[in-house]
Structure 1
Amino acid sequence: MSTLVHRRRFRLGHTVRVVSGVLIALLFLFPIFWMVLTSFKQQVDIFVSPPKLMFEVSFDAYIKYLERPDIIHKLVNTIIVAVGSALLSIVAGSMAGYALARIKLTGANAIGVLILLSRGVPPIALAVPMFLVARKLGLTDKHITLIVAYATFLIPYVMWLMRGFFLALPRELEEAAVIDGCSRFGAFMRIIVPLSMPGIISTFIFSMIMAWEELLFALVLTNRDATTIPVVIAGIAGDTDTGANWGALTAMGTITVVPVVIIALLVQKWLIQGLADGTTK
């Protein structure tokens, strides 16, 4: 009897978890669905009340902005900056995370927490000084300026995540490598990095997404040549005299989201494995 009751409770709990998961997923995905749906509507259909689910499909918003040569240029800028800042952050953050995980330092935990707390500094407090330094060095409106600026808030995030991955690996692996003649850095590159590759890939993807959607630093530090897609989207909001151009905004938003979704789907195997490895030891 007790076994039967236990099974019923397990099935009920499983059903509740599945239903809750589906509802939460729908809640988070609905804004994206509505954005994509709105991007194919004509301007007159966007403001109809109640909203239409059946309407005449229009590609005018996509055609209008994709025909502009600067849009492709801004999209390429976004890719360069997002990938560059993610790579820089992975290299620096991984080594910092390894140092905090393996090297015996006085106050290592306090150092890690302080670096992580730097993420709490308001971005605007850093954007203005960065602009003044970049202007003094003649590096305004450059890709490298945005890459370094993004790395300032990505490195603490990467460091803390990678520290967790490195702590999950047994020390005996490095000790065996050192006995075989490897230096500490050699053991890190030849043993730890390959074993942590799922975590590195998942952290890289998350870092790239964070850089991909960043607006403030791109708005302050760029003007024309290195401007990214989020800045263009912010400018589209005022393209019309009657208010926000919602058709163009949703079309550009869809174009911005699609590459990230494609990348996530291509690396989902390593992404899921990295997330799983980061939660277990």
Structure 2
Amino acid sequence: MKHTRCSVKRNLLMIVMLVLLALFLLWTIIPIYIVVSNSFRKTIEMKLMPPKLIFEPIFSHYQKLLFFDRFAIYFRNSAIISISTTTFTIFLGSMAAYGLKLCKSSIGRRISNVLLLGKMVPSITILIPLFILMNRIHLTGTYLAPILTLSCLSLPFVTWLMTGFIADIPNELIESAGLEGCSRIGIFSRIIIPLLKPAIASAIILVMQSSWNELLFSLQLTNLKTYPLTVGIARYVGAVSVDWGKCSAAATITMVPIIIIGFFMQKYLVSGMTAGAVKG
């Protein structure tokens, strides 16, 4: 009888978890479905309530976006800014975390605990001083301005993330490589980096997503030639009306690269960090 009650409770708990999971899945998928479906609907059909689930798709929004607009330039600018920011941040963050690992003093270990204090400062508070600084050194309107800004904002978090992973690497592994004649740079490139694949994958997803979707600094530090996607899509929102067709089509295309990166990096996230050292 007791076993039957436990089985019933377990099944009830499983049903509740499945219902919650289904609700969370709907909460995630429905907004994406609305955006993607609206990109294929006529403008008048977007305003129907309730919306039609079955409709005749059109491609005029994508044609206007890709052939009669500057969307390709916005996409190129976002790719340049995001890839440069991600590469620069992960390289410096990994090097900084490796330096903290080699630091023998207690100060080096405490630095990693205060790196996230900078993330607590609202971004809007540093916008005006940053704009004045970039304007003084004649970087406003260039790719370098948003790249440096986003890299500085993401670097403390990436360093903290890498420090947590590197701290779990056995010191004996690094010391044995040094005894074999491997330099510190060689240890970093041949041992540390391969073991940091899960951390690097996490950093790529987070930094790429934040730099790809960033609007505040890009709006102030770029110009018509260097506008990224976020600023370009915001230009479709007028003072009186909104071009929902272009906005939906642009949002659909903008989602694709981040989704692809997430699926590609997923296999590195589930791998064990020190699995390579154990197998080697």
What TM-score do you get using the length of structure 2 for normalisation? 0.88
Q: 1:9 to 1:175 in 2, by over 3 A?
A: farther
Give secondary structure in 1 for the equivalent of 2:271. helix
Letter paired with 1:66: L
Q: 1:275 to 1:78 in 2, by over 3 A?
A: farther
Shift of 1:18: 3.9
1:6, 1:99 → 2: CA distance?
53
Partner of 1:190: 190
Give per-residue Cα distances to partners, 1:176-233, cap 9 Å, x unaligned: 1112122333322221111112321231122111100000111000011211010011
Mean alpha-carbon deviation: is it higher for 220-229 or for 178-187? 178-187
Shift of 1:112: 2.3
Shift of 1:160: 1.6
Shift of 1:15: 4.5
Residues 1-281 of structure 1 aligned to structure 2 (within 5 Å): 9-68=9-68, 70-238=70-238, 242-273=240-271
Mean alpha-carbon deviation: is it higher for 158-167 or for 220-229? 158-167
Letter paired with 1:95: M
Q: 1:26 to 1:102 in 2, by over 3 A?
A: farther
1:44, 1:85 → 2: CA distance?
40
Shift of 1:261: 1.2
Mean alpha-carbon deviation: is it higher for 70-79 or for 123-132? 123-132
Give secondary structure in 2 for the equivalent of 1:261. helix
Shift of 1:276: 12
Residues 174 and 187 of structure 1 are in contact (CA less than 8 Å); yes or no, is this contact kept in structure 2?
yes
Give secondary structure in 2 for the equivalent of 1:273. coil
2:246, 2:259 → 1: CA distance?
20
Shift of 1:81: 0.5
Give per-residue Cα distances to partners, 1:82-135, cap 9 Å, x unaligned: 000000100111122233345233344542233211012221222222222222
User: How many pairs does the alignment contain?
Assistant: 275
Identity of aligned residues (%): 35
Q: 1:275 to 1:255 in 2, by over 3 A?
A: farther
Residues 201 and 274 of structure 1 are in contact (CA less than 8 Å); yes or no, is this contact kept in structure 2?
no
Alpha-carbon RMSD: 2.5
1:168, 1:25 → 2: CA distance?
34
Give secondary structure in 1 for the equivalent of 2:226. coil
Give per-residue Cα distances to partners, 1:125-147, cap 9 Å, x unaligned: 22222222222222221112211
Structure 2 residue runs without a partner (length 5+): 276-280
